[in-house]
Structure 1
Amino acid sequence: MSRSTPFNTILRRAGLPAVAIILMGFFAYSAVLGPNGVLVYGDYKRQLETKKAELAKLEAQRAQLRNRVALLKQSGADPDMVDELTRKKLNVVHPDEVIVTLD
Protein backbone atom coordinates (compact mmCIF):
# COMPACT_ATOMS: atom_id res chain seq x y z
CA MET A 1 0.00 0.00 0.00
CA SER A 2 1.40 3.32 -0.93
CA ARG A 3 0.77 6.24 1.19
CA SER A 4 0.52 9.65 -0.44
CA THR A 5 2.34 12.49 1.10
CA PRO A 6 0.64 15.81 1.80
CA PHE A 7 2.65 17.36 -1.02
CA ASN A 8 1.31 14.85 -3.57
CA THR A 9 -2.23 15.37 -2.33
CA ILE A 10 -1.96 19.14 -2.70
CA LEU A 11 -0.45 18.72 -6.16
CA ARG A 12 -3.30 16.46 -7.27
CA ARG A 13 -5.95 18.80 -5.92
CA ALA A 14 -4.41 21.96 -7.32
CA GLY A 15 -3.38 20.56 -10.73
CA LEU A 16 -6.65 20.99 -12.60
CA PRO A 17 -7.40 24.50 -11.30
CA ALA A 18 -3.81 25.55 -12.06
CA VAL A 19 -4.13 24.33 -15.65
CA ALA A 20 -7.48 26.12 -15.99
CA ILE A 21 -5.99 29.39 -14.67
CA ILE A 22 -3.05 29.11 -17.07
CA LEU A 23 -5.41 28.56 -20.02
CA MET A 24 -7.60 31.49 -19.01
CA GLY A 25 -4.51 33.68 -18.69
CA PHE A 26 -3.38 32.67 -22.17
CA PHE A 27 -6.75 33.48 -23.72
CA ALA A 28 -6.96 36.79 -21.85
CA TYR A 29 -3.47 37.71 -23.09
CA SER A 30 -4.45 36.83 -26.65
CA ALA A 31 -7.66 38.86 -26.43
CA VAL A 32 -5.82 41.98 -25.32
CA LEU A 33 -2.31 41.80 -26.76
CA GLY A 34 -2.58 39.14 -29.47
CA PRO A 35 -2.46 39.72 -33.24
CA ASN A 36 -6.24 40.28 -33.31
CA GLY A 37 -6.48 41.80 -29.85
CA VAL A 38 -8.09 44.96 -28.57
CA LEU A 39 -4.90 47.01 -28.76
CA VAL A 40 -4.40 46.23 -32.46
CA TYR A 41 -7.95 47.36 -33.33
CA GLY A 42 -6.94 51.03 -33.64
CA ASP A 43 -4.17 50.15 -36.07
CA TYR A 44 -6.63 48.14 -38.15
CA LYS A 45 -8.97 51.14 -38.30
CA ARG A 46 -6.13 53.40 -39.54
CA GLN A 47 -5.16 50.86 -42.17
CA LEU A 48 -8.80 50.59 -43.27
CA GLU A 49 -9.06 54.36 -43.77
CA THR A 50 -5.82 54.37 -45.78
CA LYS A 51 -7.04 51.53 -47.96
CA LYS A 52 -10.40 53.24 -48.50
CA ALA A 53 -8.65 56.39 -49.71
CA GLU A 54 -6.46 54.31 -52.01
CA LEU A 55 -9.54 52.48 -53.33
CA ALA A 56 -11.32 55.76 -54.11
CA LYS A 57 -8.26 56.98 -56.01
CA LEU A 58 -8.04 53.76 -58.00
CA GLU A 59 -11.76 53.79 -58.78
CA ALA A 60 -11.43 57.34 -60.15
CA GLN A 61 -8.50 56.24 -62.31
CA ARG A 62 -10.50 53.23 -63.47
CA ALA A 63 -13.42 55.48 -64.46
CA GLN A 64 -11.03 57.65 -66.52
CA LEU A 65 -9.63 54.60 -68.27
CA ARG A 66 -13.13 53.26 -68.91
CA ASN A 67 -14.05 56.60 -70.50
CA ARG A 68 -10.96 56.54 -72.74
CA VAL A 69 -11.77 52.99 -73.84
CA ALA A 70 -15.33 54.04 -74.65
CA LEU A 71 -13.97 56.85 -76.83
CA LEU A 72 -11.80 54.38 -78.77
CA LYS A 73 -14.50 51.80 -79.59
CA GLN A 74 -14.56 50.60 -83.22
CA SER A 75 -18.20 51.61 -83.76
CA GLY A 76 -17.62 55.33 -83.29
CA ALA A 77 -14.12 56.33 -82.30
CA ASP A 78 -13.58 59.97 -81.39
CA PRO A 79 -11.30 61.36 -84.14
CA ASP A 80 -9.52 63.76 -81.80
CA MET A 81 -8.71 60.98 -79.35
CA VAL A 82 -7.44 58.71 -82.11
CA ASP A 83 -5.30 61.53 -83.53
CA GLU A 84 -3.88 62.36 -80.10
CA LEU A 85 -2.98 58.77 -79.32
CA THR A 86 -1.45 58.14 -82.74
CA ARG A 87 0.75 61.20 -82.54
CA LYS A 88 1.81 60.38 -78.99
CA LYS A 89 2.65 56.73 -79.70
CA LEU A 90 4.26 57.20 -83.12
CA ASN A 91 5.92 60.51 -82.25
CA VAL A 92 4.64 62.07 -85.47
CA VAL A 93 4.59 65.87 -85.52
CA HIS A 94 4.69 68.31 -88.39
CA PRO A 95 7.41 70.99 -88.23
CA ASP A 96 4.89 73.84 -88.01
CA GLU A 97 2.86 72.31 -85.10
CA VAL A 98 3.18 73.33 -81.50
CA ILE A 99 2.64 70.63 -78.86
CA VAL A 100 1.07 71.68 -75.59
CA THR A 101 1.11 68.91 -72.96
CA LEU A 102 -1.49 69.00 -70.22
CA ASP A 103 0.14 66.44 -67.94
Structure 2
Amino acid sequence: MRTMRQDPGIVKERLVQGLALAVLLLMGLYAVAGPSGLIAWGENQRLLEQRQEKLAVMKSERKRWQNRVKLVDPKNVDPDLAGELLRSNLNVARSDEMVMLLH
Protein backbone atom coordinates (compact mmCIF):
# COMPACT_ATOMS: atom_id res chain seq x y z
CA MET A 1 0.00 0.00 0.00
CA ARG A 2 1.04 3.42 -0.76
CA THR A 3 0.55 6.28 1.62
CA MET A 4 0.11 9.65 0.12
CA ARG A 5 1.84 12.45 1.82
CA GLN A 6 0.23 15.80 1.46
CA ASP A 7 2.26 18.70 0.35
CA PRO A 8 2.71 21.29 3.16
CA GLY A 9 1.64 24.01 0.72
CA ILE A 10 -1.72 22.30 0.15
CA VAL A 11 -2.32 21.93 3.89
CA LYS A 12 -1.53 25.60 4.44
CA GLU A 13 -3.80 26.60 1.56
CA ARG A 14 -6.70 24.54 2.93
CA LEU A 15 -6.18 26.01 6.40
CA VAL A 16 -6.29 29.55 4.99
CA GLN A 17 -9.43 28.71 2.97
CA GLY A 18 -11.08 27.18 6.06
CA LEU A 19 -10.31 30.26 8.15
CA ALA A 20 -11.57 32.56 5.39
CA LEU A 21 -14.80 30.53 5.19
CA ALA A 22 -15.22 30.70 8.99
CA VAL A 23 -14.73 34.48 8.97
CA LEU A 24 -17.25 34.91 6.14
CA LEU A 25 -19.78 32.73 7.99
CA LEU A 26 -19.33 34.79 11.17
CA MET A 27 -19.76 38.02 9.23
CA GLY A 28 -22.94 36.66 7.64
CA LEU A 29 -24.28 35.56 11.01
CA TYR A 30 -23.54 38.98 12.46
CA ALA A 31 -25.30 40.66 9.51
CA VAL A 32 -28.43 38.59 10.14
CA ALA A 33 -28.55 38.24 13.94
CA GLY A 34 -26.36 41.10 15.17
CA PRO A 35 -27.59 44.15 17.10
CA SER A 36 -28.15 46.06 13.85
CA GLY A 37 -28.88 43.01 11.70
CA LEU A 38 -31.94 41.96 9.76
CA ILE A 39 -33.67 40.38 12.76
CA ALA A 40 -33.30 43.54 14.86
CA TRP A 41 -34.57 45.73 12.00
CA GLY A 42 -38.25 44.98 12.63
CA GLU A 43 -37.93 45.63 16.35
CA ASN A 44 -36.19 48.94 15.69
CA GLN A 45 -38.96 49.98 13.28
CA ARG A 46 -41.65 49.16 15.86
CA LEU A 47 -39.83 51.14 18.55
CA LEU A 48 -39.42 54.08 16.18
CA GLU A 49 -43.16 54.16 15.42
CA GLN A 50 -44.03 54.00 19.13
CA ARG A 51 -41.68 56.84 19.96
CA GLN A 52 -42.96 58.97 17.08
CA GLU A 53 -46.53 58.54 18.38
CA LYS A 54 -45.41 59.46 21.89
CA LEU A 55 -43.55 62.49 20.52
CA ALA A 56 -46.67 63.69 18.70
CA VAL A 57 -48.70 63.43 21.92
CA MET A 58 -46.03 65.27 23.88
CA LYS A 59 -45.83 68.04 21.27
CA SER A 60 -49.57 68.66 21.43
CA GLU A 61 -49.45 68.68 25.24
CA ARG A 62 -46.54 71.12 25.11
CA LYS A 63 -48.54 73.47 22.85
CA ARG A 64 -51.45 73.31 25.27
CA TRP A 65 -49.18 74.21 28.21
CA GLN A 66 -47.50 77.02 26.24
CA ASN A 67 -50.93 78.50 25.54
CA ARG A 68 -51.87 78.19 29.20
CA VAL A 69 -48.64 79.95 30.27
CA LYS A 70 -49.30 82.72 27.75
CA LEU A 71 -52.79 83.21 29.20
CA VAL A 72 -51.48 83.69 32.76
CA ASP A 73 -48.70 86.08 31.78
CA PRO A 74 -48.63 88.83 34.46
CA LYS A 75 -48.58 91.56 31.80
CA ASN A 76 -51.70 90.31 30.01
CA VAL A 77 -53.78 87.93 32.14
CA ASP A 78 -56.88 86.34 30.66
CA PRO A 79 -59.66 87.28 33.13
CA ASP A 80 -61.67 84.10 32.55
CA LEU A 81 -58.70 81.87 33.25
CA ALA A 82 -57.70 83.93 36.29
CA GLY A 83 -61.21 83.57 37.71
CA GLU A 84 -61.23 79.84 36.99
CA LEU A 85 -57.87 79.36 38.71
CA LEU A 86 -58.94 81.40 41.75
CA ARG A 87 -62.16 79.47 42.14
CA SER A 88 -60.59 76.05 41.71
CA ASN A 89 -57.36 76.50 43.68
CA LEU A 90 -58.42 78.86 46.47
CA ASN A 91 -62.09 77.92 46.79
CA VAL A 92 -63.04 81.56 46.26
CA ALA A 93 -66.63 82.39 45.32
CA ARG A 94 -68.75 85.49 45.38
CA SER A 95 -71.71 85.68 47.71
CA ASP A 96 -74.20 85.54 44.84
CA GLU A 97 -72.66 82.40 43.29
CA MET A 98 -73.80 78.84 43.85
CA VAL A 99 -71.12 76.12 43.83
CA MET A 100 -72.09 72.69 42.54
CA LEU A 101 -69.57 69.89 43.01
CA LEU A 102 -69.57 67.27 40.28
CA HIS A 103 -67.90 63.94 40.85
TM-score (norm 2): 0.76
What's the secondary structure of 2:57's corresponding residue? helix
Partner Cα distance (1:43, 1:22) in 2: 28
Match of 1:54 in 2: 54
Partner Cα distance (2:94, 2:18) in 1: 88
How far apart are residue 90 of structure 1 and its match? 2.5
Matched, 1:13 2:43: no
Query: Matched residue pairs, number?
Result: 97
C-alpha deviations, 1:7-26, integer Å up to 9, x for none? Answer: 86554222222221111111
How far apart are residue 79 of structure 1 and its match? 1.4
Partner Cα distance (2:8, 2:85) in 1: 88
CA RMSD in angstroms comes to: 2.5
Match of 1:65 in 2: 65
Partner Cα distance (1:99, 1:69) in 2: 27
Distance 1:68 1:16, change over 3 A: same
Gaps in structure 1 of 5+ consecutive residues: none
Distance 1:86 1:8, change over 3 A: farther
TM-score (norm 1): 0.76
Gaps in structure 2 of 5+ consecutive residues: none
Structure 2 letter corresponding to 1:16: V
Partner Cα distance (2:94, 2:76) in 1: 26
